[in-house]
Structure 1
Amino acid sequence: MSVNISYVLVAYNEPWRADELARLVVELRPGIRTVQVNDGQAALRVCRKQPPSFLIADGELAQLDARNLLLELRSHQATRLVPAVVISARVDGASVRAVRPLSPKAYLKKPYSMRDLRVRLNALLPGARTVSTQAASATGALSDFLNRMRSNNAGAPVMDSVQVAVAACTQADDWDLVVLKSKLSADPQITARLVSIANSAGQHHRAVCKTLGQALPRLGVRRALNLTLQLAVQNNASLSDPRLNHQAASSTSCAQRAADLAYWLAGRLKLDTELCYTAGLLHNIGELALLRSLQEWLDSGSELTEDEILCALRERSASFGSALRVRWRIPLRLRQLIAGFYSLGAEVFTREVLVLNVTGSLLRLPLSSPIDELLQDRAVRLLRLDKAILERARRERA
C-alpha cells in the first residue's frame, strides 16, 4: 500500500540546525519535500494550512514550545494524528511525563548524535527506508557491529507492562514504594539499572544494594519513577521487529520462571529470597541486550535473517551479559549468583549460589526426564535436597 506523503516539517530555533535536519531527511528519503520554520507559532500556521506527514520539533521552540505545539495539533481533527519527534534539552521525568500523553514517536535528548538520529529517523520517517553508502560503511558487517555493541549498548528492552505502568503514573501522584516495586519487579532492565544507579548515587552508604527492594527506598518514589520514564522512552525500549519481539518475550518469560523458582527454593531453605529472585531475573539479560542491539542493526537499514538471529543469541548472549553487568557495576555477590545459574567454579560459594545452580539445572531438565537425573548434582547434594523437594520444585517451575 502506498503512503501519501505531503511534506516533512522541521521546526527548530536555530536556522542552521533546521537546515541540517532537513538535509538529513532528504538524505534518508530522496525526493521528499521539507519545510523549515524557526518558531512554534510559524510551525502551527504551516500545519493548519496543510498538515505535514511528519514533524521534527525543537523542544524549546520560541513562542510556542514543542509540548504546546503538539497540544494544539492534537486538539484539531486535521492535525491530531501528525507523527512527531521532539528533540529537547529537558529530559527530566516531569518534562517527559508532560509530553508523553501527546504521543510523540520519539523524545530525544540534546545535543543529539547525527549517527543516532540518522538511525532513529530512518526507522520513523514515512516512506521506504534507504541504506546509504555512508550508513552501510558505518555499520559494517553484522559481526563487527555486534563486537562494537557488546561494550556499548543500552541494555535490555523495557517490558510492555512497565510501559503501561509508566503511562499510568502520569495520571497519579500517590504511588508508594510497595506499589512501585510490584509494577517494576518483573522487568530485568529496570531492576538492573535501578540497582546500579542506587549504588552509584549512594556511595556514602556502607550497604550495597543488590535487589530492587533495596534500591527503591534509597532512590525514593519520585526519582525511581523519573529514571524509569527515561529508560522507557529510550531508543528501542520497545522492539518493533516481530521476530525480535517474540524472542524477547520468550527470554523475559524464562527470566521470570528462573526468578520465581529461585525465590521458592530460597524460601524453602530459609535463605535470601529477594537476592535469589533478582539473580534469576537477571541471569539472561545478555540475551535481551543482544536483541535490542539487533533492533538497532535493523533500524540502520540493514537486513537480518532468522538464522542470524539464532546464531547471535547462541554465540553472543553470554558475552553481552558479562560486559553489561561489569559496565553497570552490578554488585559482585549478585554477579556470582548469576554465574552460579550456569555452573559452579572451584571457588568458595554461598548457599544462595547453590540455589541458583539448582534453579538452572531444573529449568534445563526436560519435563519428560526423570527428576532422579538431578539427585547426583553437586549443588543438589550440598544443599541436601531430596527427591520430594525436587519434584515440588519442578511443579513450581511448571
Structure 2
Amino acid sequence: MTSVILPAVPRVLIAEADPWSRDLLKEVLLNVRCDARLDLCADGQQALELLAAKPYDLVIADWELPGVDGLNVLRSIRQRKRQPPLPFILMSSRNDSASVREALPLAPTAYLTKPLNMDSLTQRLQGLLLSAGEEVSCEVPSLAPGMTLSVYLERRRELAEGAPLMTDVQLAVQRSLNPNGLDLTALEEEIRTDPQVTAVLIAAANSAAHHNGAAVQTLSQALHRLGTGQSMNLILGLALKRSAKLSDPCLADYAERYWNLSLHTAEYARTLARLLDLDQERCYCAGMLHRLGDLALLRCLQEWQQAGGPLDDLEEVGEALSEYGAAYGSALRTRWRLPLELRELIAAAYQLGGGVYSREALVMNMAAQLARLNEHEGLEALAKSRTARLLKIGLPELMRLRKT
C-alpha cells in the first residue's frame, strides 16, 4: 500500500451502523490523527449525501450498512473517476474468497474483515494519514470564556464518556490470551470488577447490530454474544479515550472510594442472591454499576481541570458529586440503553419505590445498605428494616454476611 498526499488536516468519513463499533473506529483514528475532521454516519444513503456535500480524504465504511451497502458506496465513488482515487477502507464480516473477488475490481485501499485486527487497522491509518516519522499532537480545547463548573457539568451530562477505567485493560487482555486465542472465561475474571468495561460491553451486546433474543444483563452474557474479537477491541478501545485513567490524586482517591463501594455492594448482592437462590450474576452486575454516575462525574471533573478550569478543594468535588452524580448515572444508563430490568435493580440499590418489589430488587437494596454501613454499627437497625423483613433475613444472617 502506498501513502497518499493529504491536506494538513484530513477530513474522514466513517460509515458504520453499530454505534459502539463506530465509536471504536473514531477513537482509533483520533489516536493516529487527533486533528482529523470526522463525520460519522450509520447508513449508506447518509454516507452518499455526505460524500456529495464535502470533499473527503479517506472513507472507512462497513459493507453491511443498511440501505445502500458499503460496497455500493465504494462503487459510487469509483464511478466519479477521481484522480488520485479516494482512499477507501472497506470492512466486512465476510471473509470468503467470493466476497473478496467481488470487492477487488472497485480497488478498495484495504479490505478488513471483522472483528477487526486493531494493530492492522492502526498501521493502515498511519500509512494513509501520516508521513514517515510524522507525529501530530493536539492541545486539549480550552473552556469558553466565563464558563462555570456548574454550567460545564450540566452540558457534559448528556455527552459524558462514562467512568474512568479501574483496571489495566491491556494487562487484562494479555493475561487472558492462550495459544488458542482469547479465553473469555479468563477475561471475565480479569475485568468483572471494572464498572466502565462492564457497562460498555453490556450496552454493546444489546445494540442493534448484535441484538437477537433476550436482553443481555450480565458481563458473561455480553462477552459471549460479542465474541472474542469484538470484546477485545471494545475493551482496548476504552483505553484510547481521553481521561480513561484519573491522574489527579484527589479525584483518583474519590474514585477509589466509590469503586470500593461498588465492589462491596456487588459482592454482598451476589452472596445474598446465592443464599436466596436468585440470579447471582445479574445482582453482581447491578451492584458493580450502581456508582457509575459518580465515577463518570469524576472523569468529567478531570476534563474540566485539563481544559483550564479551577478545582480548588475537596468540598467542591463533594458538592459536585452530591448534586450531579445520580443524574450522570441515570443519563448514562438511558443513553447506553442498558436493559430496563437491570436499570430497575440499580435503582433499587438507592431506594425502593412504591408497590410490589421483586426479591432481586430487595437484595440490591439490602446489599447497598450493607456496603454503606460503618464496620461496627448499624446491623441491628438494618435487621429491623422493611427490606430485611421482606427478605426474612435477621441479625444472625447479617452478621455472617459481614464476616464473608
- Structure 2-normalised TM-score? 0.66
Aligned positions of 1:245-256 closer than 5 A: 245-256=252-263
Range moving further from structure 2, 182-191 or 166-175? 166-175
Q: Deviations over 1:61-106 (max 9, x none)?
A: 9xxxxxxxxxxxxxxxxxxxxxxxxxxxx99852358869xxxxxx
Match for residue 9 of structure 2 among 2, 17, 20: 17
Q: What corresponds to 1:389 in structure 2?
A: 397
Q: Distance in 1 between matches of 2:305 and 2:342?
A: 33
Q: Letter of the aligned partner of 2:138 in structure 1?
A: L
8 Å CA contact retained: 2:176, 2:187: no
The question of whether the paired residues in 2 share the 8 Å contact of 1:93 and 1:225 is answered with: no
Give the equivalent residue in structure 1 for 2:339: 331
Give the aligned partner of residue 192 of structure 2.
Answer: 185
- How far apart in 1 are the matches of 2:170 and 2:150? 31
Residue identity in the other structure for 2:197 = I
User: What residue number does 2:117 align with?
Assistant: 94
Match of 2:233 among 223, 226, 238: 226
Deviation at 1:246? 1.8
Moved more, 366-375 or 149-158: 366-375
Instruction: Say if 2:267 and 2:284, in contact at 8 Å, map to a contact too.
Output: yes
* SS of aligned partner of 1:200: coil
Offset of 1:154 from its aligned partner?
0.4
Q: Contact 2:294 / 2:326 at 8 angstroms: preserved in 1? A: yes
1:122 is matched with 139
* Separation of aligned partners in 2, 1:171 and 1:15: 43
Within 5 A, what are the aligned runs for 1:203-352? 204-306=211-313, 307-352=315-360
Cα drift, residue 179 of structure 1: 1.0
1:157 partnered with 2:180: no
In the aligned structure 2, how far is the partner of 1:304 from the partner of 1:328? Answer: 29
Deviations 1:14-68 (A, max 9, x none): 34429xxxxxxxxxxxxxxxxxxxxxxxxxxxxxxxxxxxx9789999xxxxxxx
CA RMSD, Structure 1 to Structure 2 (Å): 3.4
Change (3 A) 1:168 1:235: farther
Q: Which of the residues 347, 369, 379 maps onto 1:361?
A: 369
Counterparts of 1:139 and 1:233 in 2: how far apart (Å)? 30
If the length of structure 1 is used for normalisation, what is the TM-score? 0.67
SS at match of 2:142: helix
Query: In the alignment, residue 381 of structure 2 is paired with which amino acid?
Result: E
Give the paired residue count.
299
One-letter code of the match for 1:286?
G
Distance between the aligned counterparts of 1:330 and 1:139, measured in 2?
Answer: 36
What is the rounded CA distance, in whole Å, between the counterparts of 1:191 and 1:235 in structure 2? 19
**Kept after mapping to 2: 8 A contact 1:283/1:338:** yes
Between the aligned residues of both structures, percent identity stands at 39
* Unaligned runs of at least 5 residues, structure 1: 1-11, 19-54, 62-89, 101-106, 112-117, 124-133
Higher helix proportion = 1
Task: Determine if the alignment matches structure 1 residue 140 to structure 2 residue 147.
Answer: yes
Deviation of the 1:304 alpha carbon: 0.9
Residue 388 of structure 2 corresponds to residue 371 of structure 1:
no
